[in-house]
Structure 1
Amino acid sequence: MSLIRVGTTYIPVRNVAESLNWYVEKLSAVKTYEDDRKAIINLADQSFFLVKADEGETANFKDSEGNEQFSLTFEVDGYDKLAELHKEFARKEIRVGEIEDRGHAGNNFVFYDLDGNKFDVWSELSVGFKENT
């Protein structure tokens, strides 16, 4: 017996309707459900629940050195796609960090949603994903 895949990720948001609109407009997510406490979207071949939470709650955490960390990394296929997505996010007025070389394969940048949830984008596709597609 083994885990096969991640099916759902839960993201805390202050206002479900506003956050849902942001994800659909800015990230081209597809809405599959909405009520006053949660919305379900499909994004990057995964289901995400946008869950109403208290003000200031995010999926971010601090590492042992006090740096704010993201809990999720999206992948794109190569540096050119990363740079193109970075420009597109900036054009859509999404808060983005600079493209970084972090000393491992590929490059990354971070971006934030409407509620301050921090996400990462990496220029390398996982080996298992490449093999299966």
Structure 2
Amino acid sequence: MEVGKILGIAYNVIPVKDLEKSAAWFVKHFGFNIRHQREDYLSLFRDNRPILDLIQSDNDSRAVIEIKQKKRWIITFFTNDIVSLHDYLKSEEVKVGDISDEGEYGKFFVLEDLDGNLFDVWQHHDCELVY
């Protein structure tokens, strides 16, 4: 009998203050679609692929970790065109950092959502995502 394998991460859960407002922000800026909406929880998909789950939070916890007194992201998004995405988000007044070119490791930038959750955005020629 063959044992099942972990094939990847299905989704990540992040806390938000206002579920509807945050969901609309992700739909607008990233083209996600909303699924499985409940009273205080919903799933965001890219086509038929789960990406994020948003959960209504009544406290200040965020999807952020701190290392050496510096806030860091815990979720990295993958993109096929980091420059155009970065330019678009800046034009929409989304809080984004500068693009960092790490050579063989790819290009990155950090963004912040409405609730202070941090995300890393990554582009790399060597990464193949199969769906």
How many corresponding residue pairs?
127
d(CA) in 1 for partners of 2:13, 2:125: 23
Deviation at 1:67, TM superposition (A): 1.3
Judging by fraction of residues, say which structure has more helix. 1
| Divergent runs of 4+, >6 A | none
Deviation at 1:128, TM superposition (A): 4.9
Q: Using the TM superposition, give the Cα deviation of residue 125 of structure 1 relative to its aligned residue in structure 2, in angstroms.
A: 5.3
CA distance in 2, matches of 1:126, 1:5: 18
1:3 to 2:6 alignment: yes
Partner of 1:21: 24
**For 2:61 and 2:126, how far apart are their aligned partners in 1?**
30
Does 2:79 match 1:49? no
8 Å contact kept, 1:75–1:125? no
- Residue equivalent to 1:107: 107
User: Matched residue of 2:6: which SS?
Assistant: coil
1:61 partnered with 2:65: yes
Counterparts of 2:107 and 2:127, CA distance in 1:
16
Unaligned runs of 5+ in 1: none
Q: In structure 2, what is the Cα distance between the partners aligned to 1:71 and 1:4?
A: 19
TM-score calculated relative to the size of structure 2: 0.85
Identify, as 1 or 2, the structure richer in strand.
2
2:94 matched to which residue of 1?
94
Runs of 5+ unmatched residues, structure 2: none
Q: CA deviation at 1:116?
A: 0.7
**Of 111-120 and 35-44, the range deviating more from structure 2:** 35-44
